[in-house]
A = this chain, B = another copy of it.
Amino acid sequence: MVGGGPGSFIGPVHRMAAELDGRIRLVAGAFSRDGGRNAQAARAWGVAADRTYGDYRQMLAAEPARTDGAELAAVVTPNHLHFEVSAAALKAGLHVMSDKPATLDLAEARELAGVVASSGRLYGLTHVYTGYPMVREAREIVRRGDLGAVRKIVVEYAQGWLSRPIEQDGDRQAGWRADPAQAGVGGCIGDIGTHAFNLVEFVGGARVTALCADLAAVVPGRVLDDDCNMLLRFAGGARGVLIASQISAGARNGLNIKVYGEKGGLTWSHERHSELVVDWLDAPTQVLHAGSAYLSATARTASRIPTGHPEGFIEAFANLYRDFADAIVAGRSDTGLVPGVAEGLRGMAFVETAVAASRAGLGWVPLEEAA
């Protein structure tokens, strides 16, 4: 693991998720550049002192030389290091599971795609929401055509924790996210807008071809956007709306997606993630429950325990790691349902296009295929 030292939110999640199913063990890490914090993380997680590295480069030099060396690197640093660390790890022969967004900007993402291609290693991107069973079921329902052709998609990701300028008061999580040098050109759009965008394409099954964006830095003193509203057009003609906000005061982590087709519509909400609601034109509403025998195989295998026994965020994350481990063990060259570098590229193209278009007040702009 690179990054994830004390105070990190996502580092511990990666650790718990990776180990949950007994397929992966955390054996080495460069958790923090601060020696004390680095050692503290290692102790907490049972990583041996001689495999706790002060710098990720040392780790990538040492581990491949061991017969029991790490095979997979989890990249959980702030955004600006994602590319550098991921590329180095791939070149060192490790598979990489990176937190999102894939890179700091689109140019880096293009370069990363090249590195992945030439490395012969697998690259996964933790768009965690794709790991929820009922998100996978939603994707299946759309793919099977149960709803008919898709006409409209609305996705809304509302958080409120940046409603106050807490980055100016020393909050670590807010600090790097509000800093263009560490976060990139996008604030909210990079942090959670990319999740919403990825979810739209993952579930909806169609590419966004154009967008019209209104991004704003609402909280005084903030440079990067903290509120994003967007109209979307999809290949195939569907229309959509994407909302991502970190100043939706009082919202916790409210991610919802609605997909409307010719015959019905489906709704998935993170607050009730074990359920999938499908409304029909002429029949009763259906509520599908995670862990049920009537689900598609894809959704069924994403639950560990019987229906009615809720899993959650860590388990969704763990589904990505489990699938990734399967792909590695099987020697596959693709990561299946786990988002990869192509999704990383899409995400960075989305961020750069929307930020530029909103800044210039351009109205509708095309979202190019990025590669």
- Quick one: closest B residue to A293, CB to CB? B282
Q: A163-B281, A227-B151, A241-B229 are in contact. Are A260 and B247 (CB under 8 A)?
A: yes
A273 sits at the interface (CB 8 A): yes
Residues of B within 8 A of A261 (CB): 249
Q: A239-B229, A260-B160, A285-B286 are in contact. Are A311 and B309 (CB under 8 A)?
A: no
The segment from A57-65, A211-219, A327-335 that touches chain B is: A211-219
Q: Does B239 lie within 8 Å of A241, measured CB to CB? A: no
Residues of B within 8 A of A315 (CB): 312, 314
A306 sits at the interface (CB 8 A): yes
Bound form: Cα–Cα A282–B307 in Å: 12
Digit string of A274-314 for contact with B (CB within 8 Å is 1, else 0)?
A: 00011111111111110111100000000011111111111
A22 sits at the interface (CB 8 A): yes
Size bin of chain A's contact surface? 35 or more
Q: Does A253 lie within 8 Å of B160, measured CB to CB? A: no
Question: How many identical subunits does the complex contain?
Answer: 4
Q: Kindly provide the distance from the CB of A197 to the nearest chain B CB, expressed in whole angstroms.
A: 16
- Quick one: closest B residue to A267, CB to CB? B250
Known contacts A147-B249, A154-B156, A305-B313; 20 further A-B pairs (Cβ under 8 A):
A9-B306, A152-B248, A160-B265, A163-B262, A214-B239, A249-B263, A249-B264, A250-B280, A252-B289, A252-B307, A253-B306, A272-B272, A282-B293, A282-B294, A285-B288, A305-B314, A310-B312, A311-B312, A312-B315, A363-B364
